[in-house]
Amino acid sequence: MRIAVDTGGTFTDLILEDGTGKRFVFKRPTTPDDPVRGIFDALAQAADSRGETVEVLLSQTDTFIHATTRAINAILTGTTARTAFLCTEGHPDTLLFREGGRIEIFNFTVEYPRPYVPRSLTFEVPERISHDGGIVKALDEEAAVDILLGLNDLGVEAIGVCLLFSTINPRHERRLGELIEHHLPDIPCTLSHVVNPTLREYRRASSTCIDASLKPVMSTYLRNLGHTLQATGFAGRFLVVTSRGGVRDGADVAGAPIHAVNSGPAMAPVAGRFFAAAETGADTVVVADTGGTSFDVSLVRNGRIPQTRETWLGQTYRGHMTGFPSIDVRSIGAGGGSIAWVDSGGMLHVGPQSAGAAPGPACYNAGGVRATVTDAALVTGLIDPAFFLGGHMPLDIHAARDAVERDVASPMGTGPERAALSIMEVATENMVQAIENITIHQGVDPRSAVLVAGGGAAGLNAVAIARRLGCRHVIVPTAGAALSAAGSLMAELGDDFSATLPTSSRHFDIGAVNRVLAELAARAAAFVSGPGAGTIAHETTFFAEARYGHQVWEIEVPLRGSRFDSEDDVSRFISDFHDMHEAMFAVRDSHSDVEIIHWHCRVRCRLRGDAGQDSMPTAARDNHARRVVLAGHGAIEASVADFSALATDETLEGPAIIESPFTSIVIDPGVSYFRSTHGSLVITLEAGGDDARASLAARRW
């Protein structure tokens, strides 16, 4: 038995996969003051559904997979550890200078961003290593020790060390690490050449300090969760989702917590790609995960999940860059808990502020009084207040109506239903713009994409979003309300190893490159025989980061093997680089020198051999009709059906509300839908549901 838990801003999602491969979804409100309590609330709900205690449930569980927002929440709320930054003498401004860029180039009223570690906690260490690894100035150990001994008086809780060219020669950084361990054994530290061996100074320094600042927070959190699980009967393997879309052992993530910064959102595109391929065979997929607090969107292109090194915590250029590769997921403050408000000019806004899990929307009756998207969905009839979370959490329709009328209807001089509909329309438009940023703005026509809608609030406007984008098909998986948790069960155990060795196509050092690749391969083999022992299969792939001479940025190019045996191998790699560059930028310069900077080895170990089968709890509710208010249609009667009771491959047509205990899916008039043999709800926005279903079947084959 396996359990995956995704702790989000509003709800904690849990998916239980039993011994037969069937998966069951559970949801409980997140408890921000103690996320572990929210996890165990979800575990209690899962155990109760099986007529068991939590202890019995956990004793049967061999793998517990956890995706968490704990790391990024600590950064955004400023609750990370007090961190000192040790750098090379003469270079204390690395975190301050950053990398250039403006969101609004003519807005000079924005305050210059503060560095992640202030100058008051930045210390210059006398030492210097040159670009070729030579020692220009030996490490002054006496001065270094004096610095370290002074950190206790400053209340420092973590230390980040980033010295110049430590990726070429880490000798000084390693020695500093030894000194820290000897003189300050209780203070965790991060060495830049270990956590992120890249040449780019700001990114390396930023990732080092972020990682160090998270170590006390995440090690405490993961240790407490692990101990609590063990004390409650769990004796299996505890895995944590990483921002690169894989999983690692909890102890490993506690030792390098930067891997968990985008832990939760990273798994939605993994699940979305799987469901889109299973239902339609599509390789261009927009994956939209709508929770209570945020709207996370990603684009699967040519079947590949995109990764980025441009991961910012907070606003681009104004926040802090992780400097670390992660799955490219864009997030905006738009979800079920997004607060609706009217500005002084009478303009309606939705988000980015959120009511979150506590106090939550007004309809929760938990202290929240502001109108939210969930309140608007209640007022327009899209959500049944008596069936929220399967009836475990009834909502107050009167509180929702009062909030919408006070916050939006009265300032706009309209009625509550019209105001609620406007809230839904603005939320939809915000989400459409977020999707356009990763499709149209990057040269991808969204009309060619399948929209996979996940998250508890996704069904409220998935069809409206698809209509605005021109998408023909929407897929709502059975486990879509917990899309990231579903992706966690599909994730592979893995790690990535990197090394810096500059060379070029004109002076390619085959011997040196092969030595680096052999070292990376050895590290991958150690991972396979260590953490990867017992997995059913593994794959090791190699990549290089290369660029044309004097370019600023590199692109990642796969290697055809694990070494270069001849000049022909080098020529084939250079040709692959030209092809990749042309595909990405429509530019090919075959006569220019190609510079290769970094070398990477990626190892992935499969944990499971089958995809599993999603199951949905039966609501035992009769089909009926309900008055709803929809954009472009006004007030109409819509049929209401239980998701679990839909017949397989029977084409139906809206208006309809398809309900499950965890989501409500709105089907507009004239839109056809059917439940596939895989269990997903497949929606088509073109006339002729049977023809559409036939075309989908053809695409599968």
- pLDDT at site 624: 85
- pLDDT at site 616: 56
- pLDDT at site 212: 96
> pLDDT: is 148 or 293 the higher one?
148
Q: Token pair for residue 85?
A: 């930054």
In a domain, 356, yes or no: no
- Predicted confidence (pLDDT) at residue 692 exceeds the cutoff of 60: no
pLDDT tier for residue 622 given thresholds of 50, 70 and 90: low
Task: Please indicate, yes or no, whether residues 652 and 622 belong to a single structural domain of this protein.
Answer: yes
pLDDT tier for residue 75 given thresholds of 50, 70 and 90: confident
Q: Considering only CA atoms, which of 30, 24, 32, 31 is closest in space to residue 48?
A: 24
The verdict on whether omega for the bond into residue 118 sits within 30 degrees of 0, i.e. cis, is no
Q: What is the CA radius of gyration of the chain?
A: 26
- Predicted confidence (pLDDT) at residue 620 exceeds the cutoff of 60: no
Written as one string, the DSSP assignment of 470-511 is T-SEEEE-TTGGGHHHHHHHH--EEEEEEEEEEEESTT--HH
- pLDDT at site 99: 83
- Which residues sit opposite 654 in a β-bridge? none
> pLDDT: is 287 or 441 the higher one?
287
Task: Please indicate, yes or no, whether residues 506 and 579 belong to a single structural domain of this protein.
Answer: yes
- Predicted confidence (pLDDT) at residue 52 exceeds the cutoff of 60: yes
Q: Which helix (H) or strand (E) holds 67?
A: strand 63-68
**Residue that terminates a domain, selected from 157, 189, 215:** 215
CATH of the domain at 501: 3.30.1490
Q: Considering only CA atoms, which of 117, 184, 172, 186 is closest in space to residue 145?
A: 184
Phi, psi of 208 (to 5 degrees): -65, -45
> pTM value?
0.86
- Predicted confidence (pLDDT) at residue 697 exceeds the cutoff of 50: no
Strands (E), 314-469: 320-321, 326-327, 330-332, 338-342, 348-354, 450-454
- Predicted confidence (pLDDT) at residue 693 exceeds the cutoff of 60: no
Helix locations, 123-233, DSSP H? 141-151, 171-183, 192-195, 201-231
Task: Please indicate, yes or no, whether residues 84 and 210 belong to a single structural domain of this protein.
Answer: yes
* Residues 653/689, Cβ–Cβ less than 8 Å: yes
Contacts of 163 by beta carbon, 8 Å cutoff, 6+ apart? 86, 87, 88, 125, 127, 129, 172, 173, 176, 192
**Residue that terminates a domain, selected from 550, 579, 606:** 606
Provide mean pLDDT across the span 627-633.
Answer: 89
Sheet with 652-653: strands ordered across: 330-332, 295-300, 285-290, 450-454, 473-476, 681-684, 672-675, 652-653
- pLDDT at site 471: 92
- Predicted confidence (pLDDT) at residue 699 exceeds the cutoff of 50: no
**Residue that terminates a domain, selected from 606, 633, 655:** 606
Q: Three-state SS for 207? A: helix
Query: CA-CA distances (angstroms) from residue 156 to 89, 133, 219, 416?
Result: 20, 31, 17, 53
- pLDDT at site 694: 42
Task: Please indicate, yes or no, whether residues 630 and 581 belong to a single structural domain of this protein.
Answer: no
In a domain, 51, yes or no: yes
* Residues 294/484, Cβ–Cβ less than 8 Å: no
Query: CA-CA distances (angstroms) from residue 9 to 108, 291, 385, 462?
Result: 33, 8, 21, 21
* Residues 73/356, Cβ–Cβ less than 8 Å: no
The C-alpha atoms of residue 659 and residue 540 are separated, in whole angstroms, by 43
Task: Please indicate, yes or no, whether residues 204 and 82 belong to a single structural domain of this protein.
Answer: yes
> pLDDT: is 199 or 253 the higher one?
253
Of 145-154, 306-315, 565-574, 584-593, the range with the lowest mean pLDDT is 306-315
Query: CA-CA distances (angstroms) from residue 647 to 262, 614, 665?
Result: 38, 16, 16
Q: With 0-12 CB in 10 A as exposed, 13-18 as middle and 19+ as buried, what is 628?
A: buried
The per-residue pLDDT for range 89-116, each reduced to its tens digit, is: 999 999 998 887 778 888 888 888 899 9
Whole-number mean pLDDT of the chain? 89
In a domain, 473, yes or no: no
- pLDDT at site 700: 35
Task: Please indicate, yes or no, whether residues 657 and 572 belong to a single structural domain of this protein.
Answer: no
The per-residue pLDDT for range 364-382, each reduced to its tens digit, is: 988 889 999 999 999 999 9
Percent of the chain with pLDDT over 70: 96
pLDDT tier for residue 14 given thresholds of 50, 70 and 90: very high
Task: Please indicate, yes or no, whether residues 48 and 137 belong to a single structural domain of this protein.
Answer: no
Q: Characterise 623 by phi-psi region: left (phi > 0), alpha (psi -120 to 50), beta (else).
A: beta
- Predicted confidence (pLDDT) at residue 695 exceeds the cutoff of 50: no
**What is the pairing mode between strands 83-88 and 158-162?**
parallel
In a domain, 585, yes or no: yes
In a domain, 181, yes or no: yes
Residue type, 657: I
Q: Up-side HSE of residue 378: CA atoms within 13 Å toward CB? A: 27
Phi, psi of 251 (to 5 degrees): -65, -35
Task: Please indicate, yes or no, whether residues 104 and 175 belong to a single structural domain of this protein.
Answer: yes
- pLDDT at site 654: 81
pLDDT tier for residue 673 given thresholds of 50, 70 and 90: very high
Q: Three-state SS for 26? A: strand
Number of independent structural domains in the chain: 4
> pLDDT: is 633 or 610 the higher one?
633
Q: Which helix (H) or strand (E) holds 577?
A: helix 567-585
In a domain, 283, yes or no: no
pLDDT tier for residue 23 given thresholds of 50, 70 and 90: confident
In a domain, 385, yes or no: no
The per-residue pLDDT for range 431-477, each reduced to its tens digit, is: 999 999 888 888 888 998 999 998 888 889 999 999 999 999 999 99
Residue type, 534: G
- The DSSP 8-state label assigned to residue 280 in this structure reads T
Task: Please indicate, yes or no, whether residues 501 and 585 belong to a single structural domain of this protein.
Answer: yes
- pLDDT at site 78: 85
- pLDDT at site 577: 96
Provide mean pLDDT across the span 119-139.
Answer: 95
- Predicted confidence (pLDDT) at residue 142 exceeds the cutoff of 90: yes
- pLDDT at site 179: 97
pLDDT tier for residue 696 given thresholds of 50, 70 and 90: very low
Range of the domain at 588: 492-606
The per-residue pLDDT for range 586-616, each reduced to its tens digit, is: 899 999 999 999 999 999 998 876 655 666 5
Distance of CA 94 to the CA centre of its chain: 27
The verdict on whether omega for the bond into residue 359 sits within 30 degrees of 0, i.e. cis, is yes
Task: Please indicate, yes or no, whether residues 174 and 234 belong to a single structural domain of this protein.
Answer: no
Query: CA-CA distances (angstroms) from residue 272 to 205, 284, 450, 490?
Result: 34, 11, 10, 11
The per-residue pLDDT for range 254-281, each reduced to its tens digit, is: 999 999 988 878 888 988 998 898 888 8
Task: Please indicate, yes or no, whether residues 582 and 522 belong to a single structural domain of this protein.
Answer: yes
- pLDDT at site 666: 94
Provide mean pLDDT across the span 553-577.
Answer: 94
The C-alpha atoms of residue 658 and residue 634 are separated, in whole angstroms, by 19
- pLDDT at site 309: 77
Q: Considering only CA atoms, which of 602, 600, 597 is closest in space to residue 546?
A: 597
pLDDT tier for residue 233 given thresholds of 50, 70 and 90: very high
The C-alpha atoms of residue 70 and residue 58 are separated, in whole angstroms, by 23
Q: Which helix (H) or strand (E) holds 251?
A: helix 250-255
Written as one string, the DSSP assignment of 625-689 is EEEEEETTTEEEEEEEEEGGGPPBT--EESSEEEEETTEEEEE-TT-EEEE-TTS-EEEE-SS-H
Provide mean pLDDT across the span 149-157.
Answer: 93
Most confident of 286-295, 515-524, 610-619: 515-524
pLDDT tier for residue 585 given thresholds of 50, 70 and 90: confident
In a domain, 330, yes or no: no
- pLDDT at site 121: 97
- pLDDT at site 480: 82
Task: Please indicate, yes or no, whether residues 139 and 166 belong to a single structural domain of this protein.
Answer: yes
